[in-house]
């Protein structure tokens, strides 16, 4: 409940409970019906809630180190692989042929080296033989055995042998160089082949394909994305205010998504803040086998602090001036006593109490506060009072706010008084009030113009003298620092308004003259305020519906009774909550019609039929039956949240009928007769319809029957959805098959009677 409302609690208790210690004054003690709660020992957690993503801790976007055409990709998207498996290969045939060609070139180069080595050996032997022959020739030349020509020939042959040996050695060096070049070319070809093959570094699955087989892949452009689904983690961003509350490896966290929850620890905290968003990243490893999938959105709860403690309902904790927290406890005599508290954490509508020890105390949580205030304030004389409960969205205006507009202020005030009487006499309204208040007393001084003219006194002089005597005449300004004060000169202080008649004036010849002889006094009242709406004078009437009365019933009363009291030229309209309610009803009507039309068109597109969706859409009024019945039995009015629930029902209740219609079509296509097909289809889909409906209903039950902050807003929505799901589930199993037989199955045309042939 709003804390502003609970600030009135001690005032009421001070006025209604106990006795006053003032001398000569005795206050009667009044009993008040309240709700009592006992403190509970429970777990309190300081939770930081954020939204995040589920990501794989091990993932990679794989690209080739060479550019080319994707020739081999044995794993498609969704396929599993093992560590070391080939995921794809670029230019498989070309790179493999390059290796084969380089290997062959290396063999040729090695053969060339071998041949060059043989050639060197032959050249060496030849050079040695020619050297021996040349030595003999020199010896024979000295003995004059051979001629000079023979000697020169032997010398030439020896030199040619030496040159041939050098040539053979050079050829060997060249062959070895070619062999090294061929070896390098083979290494390059093998490296290119290795670069064209991409293998998995871990076990995982292919999650995305960027290039198909036969497509050209640029260097460093991704071809596949792979992930290890067994190493998932939740990633979220936290505000800078929480940086000191999170510690990697120690802070607990809770990750949930799609009804799956996992408890874990914060495994990583960013070492620094993002300078733009002033946020930091945290990561939580998720245990495998929990059902999480990479790419899911998740809700992350960082448990920054956790401890056991004694708690009381938060609605019973009141805030005082200076930030003090108090609560009211029931003593042994059944009297409420105020106790100051030291509070800690808050969670799920409960507040931790650090001191004092309230474990054995009885805490006052709620009472009929409005009725208490009405009873007390209604018996006080001299003022008018109304009691309003703060709205959940802020403010504390009355729920019924009506504006009566026209041209004459007195007529408007009279009509507002009549409307106030109608509301007070109605059993539907309470806290009735208007903005019409008794006017201020007014004294008009009307000069007698003929007498003033005879005496030579102008009405302006009379007005200035009278104003100076009553209100004073501004004579100057007095400044103190930055502030200024008007200096007014007043003839004398008035003890009573009747003293105005004693004012004296002087004629031109100096004779005294009293105010009554030259003016007339007229008494009356002037309004305190004049309210205008759309440039028309307006009076407002306020009221609240009584307990159990819907706001629509209160507005219907005004629509029925108020127009009878309005004369021509005067009108009324609703403002505040009723105005918003009517605007919301119009918007919801458009939303409901749009939802029905869009649902019909979508079903017609899926079933490729314009008639079958009509039968399916019959489940919508079937849901309305249960919706209104549930709200009636629960004593809840049809609020805006209830209309929102109906919009949701339009898309939910048709699912059962779609299952039924689809199974009916399947059985009819098998050639089964209509009646048997209906019975068989109903039997087949009974279990799926029942299971899905029960699951959907149980999912809405906490919204319908839950308590706590905001439950009054969502309970009507949840209750209507539960009732609509139950009624549509029960009735769709009978109404849809009957509608199918009555309106969709065409009866066979009768063949024309055979004509007699003469």
| SS3 per residue for 47-71 | EEEEEEEEEECCEEEEECCCCEEEE
* pLDDT at site 372: 55
* pLDDT at site 104: 92
Residue percentage of the chain with pLDDT more than 70: 84
Taking residue 263's Cβ as centre, other Cβ atoms within 10 Å add up to: 14
* pLDDT at site 321: 66
* pLDDT at site 495: 62
Please give the distance of CA 544 from its chain centroid, rounded to a whole number.
Answer: 33
* pLDDT at site 268: 92
**Hey, is 685 helix, strand or coil?**
helix
Cis amide leading into 356 (omega within 30): yes
Contact 582, 561 (CB under 8 A): no
Nearest CA-CA partner of 661 in 609, 624, 622, 620: 609
**DSSP, res 428:** T
Nearest CA-CA partner of 328 in 9, 104, 598: 9
- What is the C-alpha to C-alpha distance for residues 278 and 281, in angstroms, rounded to an integer? 10
Tell me what the pLDDT averaged over the chain comes to. Answer: 79
Taking residue 140's Cβ as centre, other Cβ atoms within 10 Å add up to: 15
Q: Which residue has the higher pLDDT, 301 or 714?
A: 301
Q: How far apart are the first and last CA of the chain?
A: 96
Choose from 193-207, 647-661, 670-684, 724-738 the range with maximum mean pLDDT.
Answer: 193-207
**DSSP, res 394:** S
Which of 4-18, 207-221, 365-379, 536-550 has the lowest average pLDDT? 4-18
Contact 519, 455 (CB under 8 A): no
Average pLDDT over residues 624-648: 80
* Interior/surface letters 308-336, b for 16+ CB within 10 angstroms, e for the rest: ebbbbbbbbbbeeeeeeeebbbeeeeeeb
At residue 82, does pLDDT exceed 80? yes
Q: Name the pairing type of β-strands 204-209 and 80-81.
A: antiparallel
* pLDDT at site 754: 45
CA dihedral 650, 654, 655, 657 (to 10 degrees): 170
**DSSP, res 320:** -
Q: Which residue has the higher pLDDT, 662 or 248?
A: 248
- What is the C-alpha to C-alpha distance for residues 196 and 201, in angstroms, rounded to an integer? 16
Determine which helix (DSSP H) or strand (DSSP E) holds 322, and give its type and residue range. Answer: none
Nearest CA-CA partner of 326 in 14, 44, 711, 709: 14
At residue 513, does pLDDT exceed 80? no
Choose from 36-45, 100-109, 515-524, 539-548 the range with maximum mean pLDDT.
Answer: 100-109
Average pLDDT over residues 596-615: 82
Residue listed under structure tokens 């007698």: 448
DSSP conformation letters of 518-536: TEEEEEEEE-S--EEETTE
Tokens of 50: 């954020």
The predicted-structure confidence for 6-34, as pLDDT tens digits, reads as follows 333 433 333 333 333 333 334 445 555 56
Phi first, then psi: what are they for 228, rounded to 5°? -100, 105
Average pLDDT over residues 54-75: 86
Taking residue 104's Cβ as centre, other Cβ atoms within 10 Å add up to: 12
Q: Which residue has the higher pLDDT, 517 or 201?
A: 201
Choose from 280-294, 483-497, 601-615 the range with maximum mean pLDDT.
Answer: 280-294
Instruction: Please list, in sequence order, all residues whose beta carbon lies within 8 angstroms of the beta carbon of residue 214, skipping any fewer than 6 positions away.
Output: 69, 70, 71
At residue 703, does pLDDT exceed 60? yes
Average pLDDT over residues 35-45: 80
* pLDDT at site 374: 60
Residue percentage of the chain with pLDDT more than 90: 6
Q: Which residue has the higher pLDDT, 720 or 711?
A: 720
Tokens of 182: 């061929």
Under the banding of pLDDT at 50, 70 and 90, the label for residue 233 is very high
At residue 282, does pLDDT exceed 90? yes
Q: Name the pairing type of β-strands 59-63 and 222-227.
A: antiparallel
Phi first, then psi: what are they for 266, rounded to 5°? -70, 115
* pLDDT at site 508: 66
- What is the C-alpha to C-alpha distance for residues 449 and 453, in angstroms, rounded to an integer? 6
- What is the C-alpha to C-alpha distance for residues 29 and 479, in angstroms, rounded to an integer? 55
Please give the distance of CA 213 from its chain centroid, rounded to a whole number.
Answer: 43
Tokens of 346: 């808050």
At residue 492, does pLDDT exceed 70? no
Residue listed under structure tokens 């009297």: 335
**Hey, is 329 helix, strand or coil?**
strand
Average pLDDT over residues 655-683: 81
The predicted-structure confidence for 469-486, as pLDDT tens digits, reads as follows 777 778 888 888 778 888
DSSP conformation letters of 487-523: EEE-S---SSGGGGGG-EEE-TTS-EEEGGGTEEEEE
- Cβ-defined contacts of 450-454 (< 8 Å, 24+): 451/517, 451/518, 452/518
Q: Which residue has the higher pLDDT, 284 or 445?
A: 284
Alpha-carbon Rg for the chain in angstroms: 50
Which of 21-30, 348-357, 566-575, 735-744 has the lowest average pLDDT? 21-30
Phi first, then psi: what are they for 602, rounded to 5°? -65, -45
Please give the distance of CA 230 from its chain centroid, rounded to a whole number.
Answer: 30
Q: Name the pairing type of β-strands 531-533 and 536-545.
A: antiparallel
**Hey, is 207 helix, strand or coil?**
strand
Q: Which residue has the higher pLDDT, 379 or 442?
A: 442
- What is the C-alpha to C-alpha distance for residues 614 and 216, in angstroms, rounded to an integer? 52
pTM: 0.41
Q: Name the pairing type of β-strands 512-514 and 279-286.
A: unpaired
**Hey, is 21 helix, strand or coil?**
coil
- What is the C-alpha to C-alpha distance for residues 528 and 525, in angstroms, rounded to an integer? 9
DSSP conformation letters of 115-155: HHHHHHHHHHHHHHHHHHHHHHHHHHHHTT-S-HHHHHHHH
The predicted-structure confidence for 121-156, as pLDDT tens digits, reads as follows 998 888 888 888 888 888 887 777 778 888 888 888
Under the banding of pLDDT at 50, 70 and 90, the label for residue 381 is low
544, burial (CB in 10 Å: exposed 0-12, middle 13-18, buried 19+) = buried
Phi first, then psi: what are they for 243, rounded to 5°? -60, -40
């Amino acid at each position: 409940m709003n804390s502003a409302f609970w600030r009135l609690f001690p005032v009421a208790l001070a006025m209604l409970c106990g006795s006053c210690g003032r001398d000569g004054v005795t206050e009667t003690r009044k009993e008040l019906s309240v709700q009592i709660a006992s403190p509970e020992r429970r777990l309190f957690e300081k939770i930081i809630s954020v939204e995040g993503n589920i990501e794989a801790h091990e993932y990679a976007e794989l690209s080739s180190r060479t550019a080319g055409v994707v020739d081999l990709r044995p794993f498609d998207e969704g396929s599993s692989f093992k560590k070391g498996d080939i995921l794809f290969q670029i230019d498989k045939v070309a790179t493999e042929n390059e290796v084969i060609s380089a290997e062959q070139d290396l063999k040729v180069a090695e053969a060339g080296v071998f041949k060059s080595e043989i050639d060197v050996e032959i050249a060496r032997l030849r050079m040695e033989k020619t050297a021996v022959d040349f030595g003999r020739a020199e010896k024979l030349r000295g003995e004059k055995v051979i001629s000079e020509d023979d000697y020169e020939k032997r010398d030439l042959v020896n030199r040619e042998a030496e040159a041939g040996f050098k040539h053979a050695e050079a050829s060997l060096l060249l062959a070895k160089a070619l062999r090294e070049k061929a070896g390098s070319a083979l290494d390059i070809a093998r490296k290119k082949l290795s670069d064209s093959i991409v293998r998995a570094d871990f076990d995982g699955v292919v999650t995305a394909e960027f290039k198909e087989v036969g497509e050209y892949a640029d260097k460093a452009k991704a071809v596949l994305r792979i992930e290890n689904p067994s190493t998932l983690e939740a990633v979220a961003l936290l505000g800078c205010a929480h940086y000191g509350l999170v510690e990697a490896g120690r802070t607990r966290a809770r990750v949930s998504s799609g009804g799956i929850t996992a408890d874990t620890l914060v495994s990583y905290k960013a070492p620094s803040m993002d300078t733009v968003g002033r946020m930091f990243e945290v990561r939580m490893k998720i245990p495998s086998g929990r059902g999480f999938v990479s790419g899911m959105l998740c809700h992350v709860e960082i448990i920054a602090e956790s401890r056991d403690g004694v708690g009381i309902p938060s609605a019973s904790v009141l805030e005082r001036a200076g930030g003090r927290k108090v609560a009211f406890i029931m003593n042994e005599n059944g009297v409420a006593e105020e106790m100051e508290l030291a509070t800690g954490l808050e969670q799920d509508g409960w507040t931790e109490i650090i001191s004092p020890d309230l474990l054995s105390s009885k805490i006052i949580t709620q009472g009929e506060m409005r009725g208490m205030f009405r009873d007390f304030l209604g018996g006080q004389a001299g003022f008018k009072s109304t009691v309003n409960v703060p709205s959940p969205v802020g403010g504390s205006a009355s729920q019924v706010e009506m504006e009566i507009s026209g041209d004459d202020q007195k007529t408007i005030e009279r009509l507002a008084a009549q409307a106030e009487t109608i509301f007070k006499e109605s059993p539907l309204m309470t806290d009735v009030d208007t903005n019409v208040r008794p006017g201020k007393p007014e004294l008009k001084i009307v000069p007698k113009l003929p007498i003033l003219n005879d005496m030579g006194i102008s009405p302006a002089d009379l007005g200035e003298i009278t104003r100076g005597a009553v209100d004073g005449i501004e004579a100057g300004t007095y400044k103190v620092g930055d502030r200024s004060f008007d200096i007014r000169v007043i003839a004398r202080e008035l003890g009573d308004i009747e003293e105005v008649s004693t004012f004296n004036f002087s004629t031109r010849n100096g004779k005294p003259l009293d105010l009554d002889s030259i003016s007339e006094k007229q008494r009356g009242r002037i309004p305190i305020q004049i309210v205008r709406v759309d440039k028309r004078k307006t009076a407002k009437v306020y009221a609240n519906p009584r307990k159990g009365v819907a706001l629509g019933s209160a507005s219907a009363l005004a629509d029925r009774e108020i127009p009878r009291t309005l004369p021509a030229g005067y009108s009324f309209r609703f403002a505040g909550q009723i105005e918003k309610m009517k605007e919301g009803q119009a918007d919801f009507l458009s939303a409901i019609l749009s939802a029905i039309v869009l649902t019909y068109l979508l079903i017609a597109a899926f079933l490729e039929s314009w008639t079958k969706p009509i039968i399916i859409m019959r489940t919508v009024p079937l849901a309305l039956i249960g919706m209104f019945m549930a709200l009636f039995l629960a004593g809840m009015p049809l609020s805006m949240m209830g209309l929102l629930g109906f919009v949701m029902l339009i898309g939910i209740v048709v699912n059962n009928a779609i299952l039924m219609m689809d199974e009916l079509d399947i059985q009819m296509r098998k050639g089964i007769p209509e009646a048997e097909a209906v019975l068989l289809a109903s039997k087949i889909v009974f279990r799926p319809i029942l299971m899905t409906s029960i699951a959907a209903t149980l999912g809405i039950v906490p919204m319908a029957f839950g308590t706590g902050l905001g439950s009054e807003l969502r309970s009507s929505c949840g209750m209507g959805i539960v009732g609509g799901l139950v009624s549509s589930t029960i009735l769709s199993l009978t109404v849809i098959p009957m509608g199918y037989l009555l309106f969709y199955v065409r009866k066979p045309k009768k063949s024309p009677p055979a004509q007699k042939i003469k």
